[in-house]
Amino acid sequence: MDEGTPLLLVPPHPPHPEEPPGPLTIVELNAAYLEKELLPRLQQKYFSGEDGYAVRIVNRARSARLVYESDPGLAASFFAVPDSRTTIFDVRPPRDGPLGPPPPPHPSGGPGRWEVLIKRRSGPLEAAVARAKIRNLAVGFAILSVMAGATGMLLYSTRRAQRLAKLQMEFVAGVSHELRTPLAVICSAGDNLADGLIATPSQVKRYGGLIRNEGKRLSQMVKQILYFGGIQSGRAKYQPKPVEVASVIQRALKDCQASVVESGCEVDEKIDAGLPLVMADETSLAHCVGNLIGNACKYGKQGKWVGVRARLAGDGLELRISVEDRGPGISAADLPHIFDPFYRGAAAKADQIHGAGLGLSLVKRIMEAHGGGVEVESRREGGACFTLRLKVENGTSHPVG
């Protein structure tokens, strides 16, 4: 029998423990079948695939003669440091068996006659495992980052919702107070007139003016609330057409005449000559300008001055309407929230200045719907300046004066 021939030893199984064992069965395997048929099928079944392994089997009993290799193009040095190494056809009969003592271990290690070397084709398994660990760590870190971001967004949304709920409650309380005040004045004046307590023409005129002013104030507040509700629900409709800025400003000043007179402010109006038309809804634009003028009279009345200016900017492609005052200005804490709905600054609350906190929010939304915007500047020396930005009609450039 050839020394390199693979064998299987089948130990005897005595029918009864007390009976002596039978003869040892030795099965000689067909080496050619193993090398050409069985081993290729086993390699294809267990070690092939996209990230498969190369297999090399050598017969150590015949000076490492090559028995099988899955990748004939690979050099023997590729398996110098394999990912896995094992031996097969290990012959170890019992020490007192019929074949005598077992043979000494093979010099290359292990008693097996055939040695199986397995190595990953794309590189060492340790490197693949290291890359997999890094990839898994990166994926885990990304998942944790997403979870942290989601948690942060949830906390932010919760705080924002709480803040909005608080502002809405303050809005309801403020609106209730603002509605109650003019209604109380109107009812009181009406009672006095109805009961005949007011007899002289001058008193009747004064009471009539009081009822008219408070009615306008009440109407303006209701209009703002309805306007805001329409914008929130998407029902607000605009009818843009070419309008003159000068006529819009005059309309806004007329609507704010009562506020200007009550505050005692002087209105300084400067409108550059030859201003182009702008595409806008005239009523909505006049509402924005009037809101800024009314705020300047309310919050900056101690300066006794309100400036209104219209001019071209941005290489003549943009028209700007500015309303400024010489009041105390806007605090740094209130400035980032000045256009938030329902927001009222600390100074307005402390001075009990009437308002619902919707005016500037409406101005911003209306201007954005017109393709423009609104800016605010609070000066260190005092006073605030709000600027409405509008594109001129057809985007035609005009000379800046």
Residue 376 tokens, joined: 């605010």
Report the interhelical angle of 245-255 vs 282-299 (nearest 10°): 50
Strand pairing class (305-313; 25-28): unpaired
- Which one-letter amino acid corresponds to residue 231? I
Place of tokens 């800024």: 292
For residues 389 and 291, state if they share a domain. Answer: yes
Q: Assess whether 263 and 343 both reside in one domain.
A: yes
Residues 6+ apart with CB under 8 A from 234: none
Give yes or no for a contact between 209 and 180, defined as CB atoms under 8 angstroms apart. no
User: What is the distance between the alpha carbons of residues 383 and 295, in angstroms, rounded to a whole number?
Assistant: 12
Provide the CA 384 distance to its chain's centre, in angstroms.
33
Question: In the chain, which stretches have pLDDT less than 70?
Answer: 1-7, 9, 11-22, 49-51, 62, 90-112, 124-125, 167, 170-178, 224, 227-235, 346-357, 394-401
- With beta carbons less than 8 A apart as the criterion, state whether 329 and 384 touch: yes
Q: How many CB atoms lie within 10 A of CB 121?
A: 15
pLDDT tens, residue by residue, 43-101: 888 887 666 788 988 887 767 788 888 888 888 888 888 888 888 876 555 555 554 55
State residue 131's pLDDT score.
Answer: 80
What amino acid is encoded at 307 in this protein? G
What is the token pair recorded at 113?
């006659």
**Nearest to 240, CA basis, from 299, 283, 198, 184:** 283
What 3-state DSSP class applies to 9? strand
Look at the block and give the residue holding tokens 């001129």.
Answer: 392
CB neighbour class for 304 (10 Å; exposed up to 12, middle 13-18, buried from 19): middle
Place of tokens 């009818």: 239
Residues 181 and 287 placed together within one structural domain of the fold = no
Residue 125 lies in a domain: no
Residue 207 half-sphere exposure toward CB, CA atoms < 13 A: 18
State whether 336 and 383 are in the same domain: yes
Tokens of 328: 């105390």
**Count of domains for the chain:** 3
Domain edge (last residue) among 195, 213, 231: 213
In CATH, what number is assigned to the domain containing residue 343?
A: 3.30.565.10
8 Å CB contact between 119 and 53: yes
* Same-domain check for residues 161 and 282: no
* Residue 142 domain flag: no
Which is nearest to 284 in space by CA: 338, 248, 244?
248
Q: Are 290 and 223 in contact (CB under 8 A)?
A: no
Do 375 and 335 fall within a single domain? yes
Assess if residue 132 is contained within a domain.
no
Inter-residue contact 55 to 68 (CB < 8 Å): yes
Domain limits for position 279: 240-395
Residue 244 and residue 354 in one domain = yes
- On whether both 80 and 20 belong to a single domain, the answer is yes
How long a stretch of residues is the chain? 401
DSSP per residue over 235-278, as a string?
------EEE-HHHHHHHHHHHTHHHHHHHTPEEEEEE-TTPPPE
Q: Are residues 111 and 198 in the same domain?
A: no
Domain identity same for 74 and 109: yes
Find out whether 339 and 357 touch, Cβ atoms under 8 Å: no
CA distance 330 to 345: 8
Beta carbons within 10 angstroms of residue 176's beta carbon: 10
Same domain assignment for residues 373 and 290 = yes
400 found inside a domain: no
Q: Determine, yes or no, domain membership for 14.
A: yes
> Do 189 and 287 belong to one domain?
no
How many Å is the Cα radius of gyration of the chain? 47
Can you tell me the distance from the alpha carbon of 153 to that of 137, in angstroms, rounded to the nearest whole number? 24
Query: Nearest to residue 65, comparing CAs of 115, 6, 30?
Result: 115
Residues in contact with 78: Cβ distance below 8 Å, sequence separation at least 6, in sequence order = 54, 119
**In the block, which residue shows the tokens 């590729």?**
78
> Which residues does residue 257 pair with via DSSP β-bridges, in sequence order?
none
The answer to whether residue 349 sits within a structural domain is yes
Instruction: Tell which of 97, 120, 143 closes a domain.
Output: 120
pLDDT in the model for residue 397:
46
Q: Is 220 inside any structural domain? A: no
Q: Is residue 189 part of a domain?
A: yes
